Structure 1
Amino acid sequence: MKYGLGLPISDPVLLLDWATRAEAAGFSTLGLLDRLAYDNPEPMIALSVLAGATSRIKLQTEVLIAPLREPSLLAKQAATLDRMSGGRFVLGLGVGGRADDHVASGTELRTRGRRMDEQLDTMRRLWSGAAHSADCGPIGPAPLRPEGPELLFGGFQPAALDRVGRWGGGFLAAAAPSWAGGLFDTVRRSWKDHGRNGEPRIVAQINVALGSPALVEEARASMGDYYQFTGRADNMVAGIRTTPEEIRTASMQFEELGADEIIFYCYGSDPDQVDRLADVSA
């Protein structure tokens, strides 16, 4: 089993310390959330900085809200980061659902799913080296692979889960082990229905806060604020694992369900959590 870290978003300056510690501790991936109308670092820029500070660890958007962005520019940004990181970039994508993000970007909330599918088609064509249109040629740089960087898709609805098979990516599961199994099965079925070889890569997420009571309360407050728009923030905050035993139990449950990687998502800012979580996953 591989273990990664989801980075806290409260203070961008701390992320360099988190990244170098995580690489030294042997973690597989650094993940970063996305919002537009929120006090968080822009993930493509932040991960580019972290790519320059590391040499081995993967860099993953978790997830990037694609419909907020213009697809040609996003394709160029992703290919650039893919090339300059030596293939360490993983483009995790989702449709989002926060109305204020769409107000800030000038995009339509209700058409976000269709827009994302159109974006994926455009990006895949541009990554392959095809011309943008009859009036515009190719857009480089070329990614390391013609199909572009590795893709992960987050989401819960059938259309979101089916993108894994349609576009040949993996699944990022922001769900508790108690109901993630059904999502995994749906994703695997989509993979087979679309004639894909092998199996989709499945990445599970566990929300954690490991440290002092003050750190745990900071993490709960940060997560609650981030998910306030859902109306279910209290339930989500209640699911944060705060002891080594709870984290190990959830990890074992995901492993039994067939997850390939687990991301420990941290909302508390203390970078000493890196070493504590490394001990838990050892």
Structure 2
Amino acid sequence: MEIGLGLPVGAPESLPDWARAAEAHGFSTLALLDRLTYHNPEPLTALAVLAGATRRIRLQTEVLLAPLRETALLAKQVATLDRMSGGRFVLGVGVGGRDDDHRAAGTPINRRGRLLDDRLTALRQIWDGQPYRDTVIGPRPSTPGGPPILIGGFAPAALRRVARHADGFLCAAALSWAGPLVETVREQWTEAGRTGRPRLVTQINVAAGSAGSIAQARRAVEDYYAFTGRPGWGEPVSDPAELADTVAAHREFGADELILYCWGDDPRQVEHLAAVLR
């Protein structure tokens, strides 16, 4: 099982330091979340900067809210990032469940699933060199047919979307209730006549380092998930023994990759996490 890092969003200027440290310590992926009305950096822009700061590590949106973005421009942005990173980009996408994001973008939240399906179909056509609205949009991505696509979500429609459009499933659910989601995705994959099996990427929130860094991470998680009205939702794992056990559980679950989402700003957390995982 590979292990990647989900990058904190509170201090975008520190992300190149995070990226270099993550690559030096052998992490597989740098992932960034996407929101429109939050204070996070725009992920495609940020990952383009991190592509220039690194050489080997993958770059992944987790997840990009594709319904908020115009199709042709999104296709061009992704293809450019794929080309300029040497094929290291992975496009994780989802519909987005926050009213404020869709309201700010002017997209009808009750049509977000249809919008995502339409965009995914069009993206593949554009990256394959087919005309879109009577014209060809370049550049062609370095990865034939476009970069790998992962789809995140919990609803039945999101799970069906994996077999139709994607290369894998981003499962943000706790392992205690992730099993049926993954089983459904794999069953639909087989029913659709897809060969092999979908890539499975799971994620957990973590905090490491000093007491101050851990406290900052907890506050950031509380702020981000306040809209749920559930105290303690998304509580980051900070105890080293618990983290080691949690990583082992995801490996046993069959995840191809686990993303450790960090919420404190201090990039020295990378070294602390790497030490736990050795």
Describe how 1:200-219 pairs up with structure 2 within 5 A.
Answer: 200-219=198-217
Who is 2:66 aligned against? 66
Q: What's the TM-score once normalised by structure 2's chain length?
A: 0.97
Rounded to whole Å, the distance in 1 between the matches of 2:232 and 2:111 is 28
Contact preservation (8 Å) 2:222, 2:232: no
Describe how 1:32-71 pairs up with structure 2 within 5 A.
Answer: 32-71=32-71
Instruction: Say which SS state the counterpart of residue 93 (structure 1) adopts.
Output: strand
Who is 1:170 aligned against? 168
Instruction: Say which SS state the counterpart of residue 214 (structure 1) adopts.
Output: helix
Q: Deviations over 1:21-60 (max 9, x none)?
A: 0001110000001000111100000000000010000000
Who is 1:186 aligned against? 184
Contact preservation (8 Å) 1:61, 1:92: yes
Instruction: Say which SS state the counterpart of residue 235 (structure 1) adopts.
Output: coil
Rounded to whole Å, the distance in 1 between the matches of 2:171 and 2:164 is 17
Deviation at 1:147, TM superposition (A): 2.1
Deviation at 1:181, TM superposition (A): 1.7
Rounded to whole Å, the distance in 2 between the matches of 1:276 and 1:189 is 38
Rounded to whole Å, the distance in 2 between the matches of 1:196 and 1:206 is 28
Q: What's the TM-score once normalised by structure 1's chain length?
A: 0.96
Identity %: 58
Contact preservation (8 Å) 2:148, 2:166: no
Who is 1:109 aligned against? 109
Contact preservation (8 Å) 2:160, 2:188: yes
Opposite residue 188 of structure 1, the aligned amino acid is R
Who is 1:235 aligned against? 232
User: Where do 4+ consecutive residues of structure 1 move more than 4 Å?
Assistant: none
Rounded to whole Å, the distance in 2 between the matches of 1:6 and 1:158 is 25
Opposite residue 213 of structure 1, the aligned amino acid is A
Rounded to whole Å, the distance in 1 between the matches of 2:43 and 2:166 is 23
Rounded to whole Å, the distance in 1 between the matches of 2:229 and 2:184 is 26
Q: CA RMSD in A?
A: 1.1
Contact preservation (8 Å) 1:28, 1:58: yes
Who is 1:94 aligned against? 94
Opposite residue 257 of structure 2, the aligned amino acid is E
Deviation at 1:227, TM superposition (A): 1.8
- Counterpart pick for 2:246 among 250, 259, 262: 250
Rounded to whole Å, the distance in 1 between the matches of 2:7 and 2:38 is 16
Instruction: Say which SS state the counterpart of residue 252 (structure 1) adopts.
Output: helix
Structure 1 unaligned blocks of 5 or more:
none
Deviation at 1:100, TM superposition (A): 1.1
Who is 2:30 aligned against? 30
Deviation at 1:3, TM superposition (A): 0.7
Q: Deviations over 1:45-80 (max 9, x none)?
A: 000000001000000001001111001110110011
Rounded to whole Å, the distance in 2 between the matches of 1:253 and 1:214 is 28
Opposite residue 30 of structure 1, the aligned amino acid is L
Opposite residue 84 of structure 2, the aligned amino acid is M
Say whether 1:261 aligns with 2:257: yes
Q: Deviations over 1:131-190 (max 9, x none)?
A: 112xx3110001123421010111011111111111132111111121122221111112
Q: Deviations over 1:203-237 (max 9, x none)?
A: 110110012222222111111111222223x2324
Say whether 1:122 aligns with 2:119: no
